[in-house]
Amino acid sequence: MSWIKRNLFFVIGGLLALGLLGAAGFYNYKGWSHNSAAFARLNEIYGTLRTLTSQKPSPGNDKVDNIKAAREQESQVRDWIRQAANDFKPIAPIPNVDTRNISSKEFAEALRRTIDQMQHEAEAASVILPPKYSFSFEAEGGARQLVKFATGSLGALSVQLGEVKTIAEIFFAAHVNSLDGIQRVRVSEDDAAGPQTDYYDDHSVTNSLAVLTPYQITFRSFSPEIAQVLAGFAASSHGLIVKSINVQPAGTMAAMSPDASAPPPPPPPLALTLASGKGGLQTVLNEQLLRVTLVVEVVKLLPKK
């Protein structure tokens, strides 16, 4: 104790030095711990950056900003979709009312009126139809006085009636020689009892953007009218896409309705001639009637979410 009293200032100074050394050690430890955590975080960020850079496509670098480019391209795609929607206008159902509340009487009257209208349009365009043709709605009564339909089918039938009318009018406008048949997918229990020639053995497909409904159409014409049909689909403001086409010589083949006893007579071959110097006229074109089968999809865009 006497030594401590004699060296009190030394003892106090030593204690203070020890305290400062401890504080310095603690501070160094905290700094080391912080630096270690920061270094680990830096390695994690570097690893993520290296992974992203190695991807194809990568986010880019200080000269190329692929993220910005991707956002700009996404904006361009969305603008294109909005513009393309003008070529995919929906086809109005027949009758054009709320399909959830359509009555059997409303649809029956619209069906008879629409079939009668299409038959008159075909006659005006000199397009031959099968006798008493109902445009694939024979099971629903066609032009007869059927007023009772399968439960829950009227909405889908009214949509199909509008689509069939739109498709048929393209063939009338092209003045094909004959429209042998339009086949649609079955949407009603009544369709099970209809003639097989009215139906296309396929179904509608729904993806993230639209509902695609197929139709198969068989007709006869010469090649200029075929070109007019394809041009009519291309120029339509509705989503009508030709998926396949099959062309073969018509010969004596012709589509017949269930009530038809004989096919309509085919027109004679188209022949063009030019005068030659000797030997009379020389045939330069002898085109025969063609039988064509088209598969067309009606594209109906889904409502925006």
Q: Is the pLDDT of residue 103 over 60?
A: yes
Q: Is the pLDDT of residue 225 over 80?
A: yes
Interval 146-160 mean pLDDT: 84
Q: Where are the domains of the chain?
A: 2-85, 88-256+266-301
**Is there a contact between 173 and 228 (Cβ–Cβ < 8 Å)?**
yes
pLDDT of residue 210: 86
Q: Is the bond into 264 cis (omega within 30 degrees of 0)?
A: no
Place of tokens 């999809």: 297
126: nearest Cα among 231, 264, 247: 264
Q: What is the pLDDT of residues 230-273, one digit of tens each?
A: 999 999 989 899 999 999 998 755 443 344 444 455 555 555 55
pLDDT of residue 97: 80
Angle separating helix axes 104-124 and 154-174, nearest 10 degrees = 10
Name the range with the highest mean pLDDT among 14-23, 99-108, 180-189.
Answer: 180-189
Q: What is the pLDDT of residues 10-69, one digit of tens each?
A: 556 666 666 666 666 656 656 666 677 777 777 777 677 677 566 666 555 556 666 777
- What does DSSP say about strands 240-249 and 205-206: parallel, antiparallel, or unpaired? unpaired
Which H or E run includes 218? strand 210-221
Fold of 88-256+266-301: Alpha-Beta Plaits (3.30.70)
52-56, 142-146, 234-238, 296-300: lowest mean pLDDT where?
Answer: 142-146
**Buried/exposed code over 97-123 (b: 16+ C-beta within 10 A; e: otherwise):** eeeeebeeebbbebbbebbeebbebbe
pLDDT of residue 261: 40
Give the residue, 46 or 118, on which the prediction is more confident: 118
CB atoms within 10 A of CB 298: 26
pLDDT of residue 260: 42
pLDDT of residue 178: 96
